[in-house]
Amino acid sequence: MQGVSFNVIAREWRLKWAGEKKDEKTLKELQDLITSQLSTIKAIKGFTSVQRIICGGCHDFKIVIAIAEPDFKAWEEAKFAPEAEYLAKAATFANVSTVETQTYTLMTLDTATAPAHAAAPAAAAAAPAAAAAAAADDGDDEDEGDDLFAKMFDGDYDDDDDDDEFEMDDEKMAKLAAEEAADIATADDLAQEEEAETGAKRPAGGGGGAAAGAGKKPKTST
């Protein structure tokens, strides 16, 4: 049909279970059965996915196997193996009824960039390990701190190892002392040069005030 395309064909195996609390054993048996068949299902040419659907309200238990459209015909000719084996065993479980199959097409129209249902389990699985590692690290740090304080209070703490990093031999000390003396000498030379320049600009005898008033007649009062 124009405008309605598909690239996957699915085969559904479905049945009813009684749905009462006592049937938890039946659900587990059904789950164990499909788990035992997974390797065979995944080996089907064109295999795309296998999903399990459980409805607690209508008591449906469904398995949906999706196969790429070009390969579905070959699986159909093989009678959808291991379908017959799975359904025969499932029908023997207590409180199981209405065992049926159905074929339909599947087409994914859109998907989320990072599906929450896929990311959440991985994050949840990683969280306990990360928390345990963080707790272990914190515990180690606290233990080291406690040991250090204990040694300090007992007088057993030796910090010579820390001082070793700052030890300096005689040659390095002499070199630093020479550099410091050179810096001081340079500063003294600059101070003397500045003082000499200041003295050269000052008038001889330091009589700046008298020279400024030379040639002016004194005021007289009558």
Residue 148 has pLDDT above 70, yes or no: no
Q: Read off the pLDDT of each residue in 90-112 and give the average, rounded to a whole number.
A: 93
For CA atoms 146, 151, 154, 155, give the dihedral sign. Answer: negative
Q: What is the DSSP letter of 206?
A: G
Of residues 108 and 158, more confidently modeled: 108
Higher per-residue confidence, 178 vs 222: 178
- The residue length of the chain stands at 222
Task: Please state, rounded to an integer, the average pLDDT across all residues of the chain.
Answer: 76
Token couple for 76: 């159909």
CATH 3.30.70.100 domain range(s) in the chain: 8-106
Least confident piece of the model among 8-22, 56-70, 181-195:
181-195
Alpha helix locations (H) across 43-169? 69-77, 83-90, 116-154, 160-164
Q: Is the pLDDT score of 11 beyond 80?
A: yes
Amino acid 187: pLDDT: 72
Burial class (CB in 10 A: 0-12, 13-18, 19+), 88: exposed
Q: Give the fold, CATH level 3, of 8-106.
A: Alpha-Beta Plaits (3.30.70)
Higher-pLDDT residue of 79, 167: 79
Q: How confident is the model at residue 175 (pLDDT cuts 50, 70, 90)?
A: confident
> How far does the chain reach from its first CA to its final CA, in angstroms?
132
Residue 123: predicted pLDDT: 64
Query: 174 or 121: which carries more pLDDT confidence?
Result: 174
75 band by pLDDT with thresholds 50, 70 and 90: very high
More reliable by pLDDT, 26 or 13: 13
- When mean pLDDT is compared across 13-17, 165-169, 199-203, the lowest value belongs to 165-169
pTM > 0.75: yes or no: no
**pLDDT confidence of residue 138:** 56
> Does 66 have pLDDT greater than 70?
yes
Specify the pLDDT at position 149: 45
Task: Identify the H or E element spanning 35.
Answer: helix 24-42
pLDDT score, position 84: 97
pLDDT confidence tier of residue 193, bands split at 50, 70 and 90: confident
